[in-house]
Structure 1
Amino acid sequence: MKSEKALRLPNRGEILFALIGFGAVMFIFIVLFELPIHLALLVSWFLIIAVGLKIGYRYKQMQDGLLRGIYDGLEAVLILITVGALIGTWIAGGIVPSIIYYGMSIIDPSILLLAAFFICTVTSIVTGTSFGSAGTAGIAMMAIGASFGFPPPLVAGAVISGCYVGDKLSPISDTTVMTASLAKVDIIEHIKSMLRVSIPAWVIAGALFLIVGFFYQGSGDLSAATSIMASLKEHFNIAWYMLLPAVVVVVMLAMKMPSIPVIMFGALLGSIWAFIFQGVPFLGAINIMYAGSEITSGIAFIDELLNRGGIVFMLDVIALIILALGVGGLMAKIGIIRAVGDFLARWAINPGRLTTSTVISGFMGNVFGAAYVSLITATKVTEDNYDRMKIDRRVLSRNTEAGGTVTTPLVPWSDGGVFMTAALGVPTLSYLPFVWFNLLVVLITLIYGYTNTFIWRTEEAKDEKPIENVVSGN
């Protein structure tokens, strides 16, 4: 029997069979038959297993890889569980309804998109979590946008764009810390490098949201906002002290306390607020962390928006992420990801191609796994090329976040794509054209690569001088 060390990498035909087969399965199940993505991913497991058996792997070896892939993404699953509990109790406790109510009172429709982008930016930078920001401030912005007559995908684009500013830049964001660690870069230097891309992307995205907001000014029926505010006032105790749990959670996260226990503590505060201020029975308030919030306001939009949350609300999302992580684990185990990486290493002979290879590697991690997987694939597949070409690893870490972190919500079955769809109620492919910050980060990153802009040599790292003529020829 062949030992695992003697097993070869899949050849080009086997790689194409696996990748094209994966795409075909996704298209047939989701587009043609309109079946759940879960089933498509499960069938993809066995498609990849078939390729592995042909190479010579035993099923037990591939199962180990599958489980390893799932294990690598379990932190995201834990965050989803706590965020689900948080969403449910913050709705029932009047925290999210109060944010919606006050937001409608002070935000002018003409700047709604810019406000959503800015508020979610600040929230995500301070808290370091895109999921938590979208599940709280994001839900509130969706409600305000709908009341002003804005298309939900457009508002979702502004919300998600803002949420991923902090996910990418906050020093307390897990992806920021993880990327700096994987690339072996000081976290502050990593953030400073990313600012070269993020600042112009943020400014351009903000200008676009402002311009489009003016375009939609007056298009909404403001009487709907009045009706929603009256309904919120009728069903919830709306007051400034409803916002205290949000302030507490933001401060704790800003103090760099661990996100999972902090978010869970925030969920507990939401249950306490539901019991004390909203008249929910004590055991019912505690159960909301699991079962989610339920209200009947008589306004379909409010009921749809606020009847959500709880651990149960996230179970479908968690199952999908586990299946997607399994695909990534299998791909890694039988060598498909490594083989693609070897090809990219041979192809990446200049800074532009090197940047492109890192972005592609990160995106592949999201397609076959989740955000954490994308950061691993982007760094490990391409890091040797940066060293060989004497390009500073700050460029590697910056490019990794461009290919991995910000593309996560653009993949329908990734953890980010699934969560944003569940939390905001907008399908990934609907909001994708409007996630302008994320798309601009990728575009500007590629432009920098091909124009040798902010591409630093290792020996010039302290001077931050652009690299010139790293290689000759093509």
Structure 2
Amino acid sequence: MCNKNIQERHRYIVLIFTFMAILSSIVFKASLFYAFTISIIFSTCVFVKNGFSITELLVMVKNSLLDCRQLLTLILLIGALIPVWFSSGVIPTIMYYGFKYMQHMNILFTIFILTSAVAVFIGSAFATISTIGIASLGLAKAFGIPDYIILGVIVSGAFLADKMSPISGLVNLTLTTVKTSYKNMLSSMVKILFPAYLIAGSVYFYIGQRYSLGSNSSNINRYTTAIKKSFVISPLFLLIPAVIFIVSFLGVKIVNSLSLGLVASVILSMTVQKTSIWGVVMEITTGYVGNTKYEYLNKVLTGGGITSMVEVLLIMGGAISLNSIFQGTGLIKPIVDKVISTIKSKEELVIKTCAISGMSTIACDQTVGIILPGQLLRHKYEELGVENRILARTISDTGTVIAPLVPWNVNSLLILAVTGISTIKYAPYALLCYILPIVTILVTCICKVKKAG
């Protein structure tokens, strides 16, 4: 990070301008790419005035984009995978057996539990949403459950991956930054996670009662019959997502595991479902469009495609570039240092950790929301006699899980690209993502933070 001195008023001007640009894009329903581009140009002018060269700023942007090339590849891979999962019969098979065996279950509650379990095992929120999440959306929409409600449920469960999965990159980044063990963090995490998870699950169970599948037996028969007539259905097709989950859990990079799933799905689509090579190419490029004899089924079996990811790639490139110059110039650090210097009590320390981690994620991304408070506050925790595992827990309960609630965050943009549903619509139902920070603050205010955590 560069140590050039940026005038304090310029720091606030840049942050306010960026916030207003993003807010304007949301209000006027313009692409966030424009907001990020304008903010980058404005910020660059301010930073140059404060002693940074154009070359320095371009190097910051270039290095960040290179560091994120795997993520950008993942976006294109997901765009290619989803339509092939439709045409190969993988998603129709999941829907078919879901209709048959979830008839008398509370579907919202069941999907919440199932998504949570898969997320912890697979270690990636995005991979969870783009696999089991897509299938769950199709299942729920077929029974009249609003897609934004079910997506909120899916997001709630999926982001347990980033919060607590032992194979999550963000979890391991938190442990490394804070200097604690997974066992210690997990033991401290339970007292916050258990009540928050119980509250979210109870609300989902209550809401889910109005969408009972058991009362839709005629719809169930109609959809299962239509799927059976339109696709070859076999429980063996479920091996493809199962293998993706297993190899990801075993430590294989998500790009490699999804590539394996894509190849297997293409072969399945061409050999079993009799899709032509040109048909598969077009699906991967432009997305899958349901072409069965049943119009109501076609509306559910539609989505994906690389072209649908182009705008997201542009927005993400803008977000990464803006974040890189914010980090590289040290824009936020002095503001955080000023906040830290006034901390006097253990309770205030935890609450301000929530604020710093959350605001860092909102302004930049999850990585900054972990590294910034982790590095800057670790010694303050030691000074006040609070164990580092509480710092790790607090970061994971705030900055890590609120990412999908921020419309311009990379996670939200990915979710939008995969599902076509905006953050503003699903966020009210992503209960766990904001119940966790609330419970963390309440527990801190009610109970004194003990040294042993």
TM-score computed with the length of structure 1 as normaliser: 0.87
2:120 — aligned with what? 125
Distance verdict in 2 for CA 1:194–1:10, change over 3 Å = farther
Structure 1 residue 24 corresponds to structure 2 residue 38: no
Aligned residue runs from structure 1 range 434-445, under 5 A: 434-445=429-440
* The one of 185, 194, 198 aligned to 1:190: 185
Other structure's SS at 1:196 match: helix
- Cα separation, 2, equivalents of 1:304 and 1:353: 51
Other structure's SS at 2:163 match: helix
8 A contact 1:72–1:372 mirrored in 2 = no
Structure 1 residue 87 corresponds to structure 2 residue 82: yes
8 A contact 1:146–1:152 mirrored in 2 = yes
Distance verdict in 2 for CA 1:211–1:93, change over 3 Å = same
Structure 1 residue 235 corresponds to structure 2 residue 223: no
Which moved further from structure 2: 79-88 or 130-139?
Answer: 79-88
Partner deviation per Cα, 1:117-142 (whole Å, 9 max, x = no partner): 01111111121111111112111221
8 A contact 2:175–2:182 mirrored in 1 = yes
2:161 — aligned with what? 166
1:103 — aligned with what? 98
Aligned residue runs from structure 1 range 281-300, under 5 A: 281-282=276-277, 284-285=279-280, 288-289=283-284, 291-297=286-292
Other structure's SS at 2:348 match: helix
8 A contact 1:83–1:131 mirrored in 2 = no
2:405 — aligned with what? 410
Distance verdict in 2 for CA 1:146–1:292, change over 3 Å = closer
Structure 1 residue 261 corresponds to structure 2 residue 256: yes
2:200 — aligned with what? 205
Aligned residue pair count: 452
Which residues of structure 2 form unaligned runs of 5+? none
Higher relative contact order (CA 8 A, sep 6+): 2
- Cα separation, 2, equivalents of 1:305 and 1:396: 43
2:273 — aligned with what? 278
- Cα separation, 1, equivalents of 2:311 and 2:225: 33
CA shift for structure 1 position 207: 0.9
Structure 1 residue 395 corresponds to structure 2 residue 357: no
8 A contact 1:25–1:43 mirrored in 2 = yes
1:361 — aligned with what? 356
- Cα separation, 1, equivalents of 2:145 and 2:423: 17
Structure 1 residue 44 corresponds to structure 2 residue 39: yes
1:345 — aligned with what? 340
Structure 1 residue 136 corresponds to structure 2 residue 144: no
Distance verdict in 2 for CA 1:109–1:15, change over 3 Å = farther
CA shift for structure 1 position 211: 0.9
Partner deviation per Cα, 1:92-118 (whole Å, 9 max, x = no partner): 221111111211222237611101101
2:5 — aligned with what? 8
Aligned residue runs from structure 1 range 441-460, under 5 A: 441-452=436-447, 455-457=449-451
8 A contact 1:371–1:416 mirrored in 2 = no
Other structure's SS at 2:106 match: helix
8 A contact 2:290–2:299 mirrored in 1 = no
Structure 1 residue 336 corresponds to structure 2 residue 331: yes
Aligned residue runs from structure 1 range 365-376, under 5 A: 365-376=360-371
Question: How large is the RMSD of aligned CA atoms in angstroms?
Answer: 2.6
CA shift for structure 1 position 287: 6.7
- Cα separation, 2, equivalents of 1:55 and 1:79: 37
Partner deviation per Cα, 1:1-44 (whole Å, 9 max, x = no partner): xxx64x31331x22221122112112223313x22111111111
Partner deviation per Cα, 1:226-245 (whole Å, 9 max, x = no partner): 44433322332111111111
Which moved further from structure 2: 331-340 or 279-288?
Answer: 279-288
- Cα separation, 2, equivalents of 1:42 and 1:219: 50
Amino acid paired to 1:425: G
Other structure's SS at 2:288 match: coil
Structure 1 residue 327 corresponds to structure 2 residue 322: yes
CA shift for structure 1 position 300: 5.9
Which moved further from structure 2: 292-301 or 258-267?
Answer: 292-301
TM-score computed with the length of structure 2 as normaliser: 0.91
8 A contact 1:378–1:404 mirrored in 2 = no
8 A contact 1:201–1:440 mirrored in 2 = yes
Other structure's SS at 1:336 match: coil
- Cα separation, 2, equivalents of 1:303 and 1:373: 42
Structure 1 residue 421 corresponds to structure 2 residue 412: no
Partner deviation per Cα, 1:379-433 (whole Å, 9 max, x = no partner): 2343332232232111111112122221111111212111222223321011111
Identical pairs, percent: 21
8 A contact 1:91–1:97 mirrored in 2 = yes
Distance verdict in 2 for CA 1:412–1:176, change over 3 Å = same
Distance verdict in 2 for CA 1:40–1:220, change over 3 Å = farther
1:460 — aligned with what? none
Amino acid paired to 1:19: L
Distance verdict in 2 for CA 1:208–1:371, change over 3 Å = same
Amino acid paired to 1:10: Q
Distance verdict in 2 for CA 1:83–1:199, change over 3 Å = farther
Distance verdict in 2 for CA 1:380–1:117, change over 3 Å = same
8 A contact 1:358–1:378 mirrored in 2 = yes
Aligned residue runs from structure 1 range 219-230, under 5 A: 223-230=218-225
* The one of 306, 310, 313 aligned to 1:315: 310
- Cα separation, 1, equivalents of 2:391 and 2:295: 47
Amino acid paired to 2:16: I
Structure 1 residue 250 corresponds to structure 2 residue 245: yes
- Cα separation, 2, equivalents of 1:299 and 1:368: 46
Which moved further from structure 2: 71-80 or 330-339?
Answer: 71-80
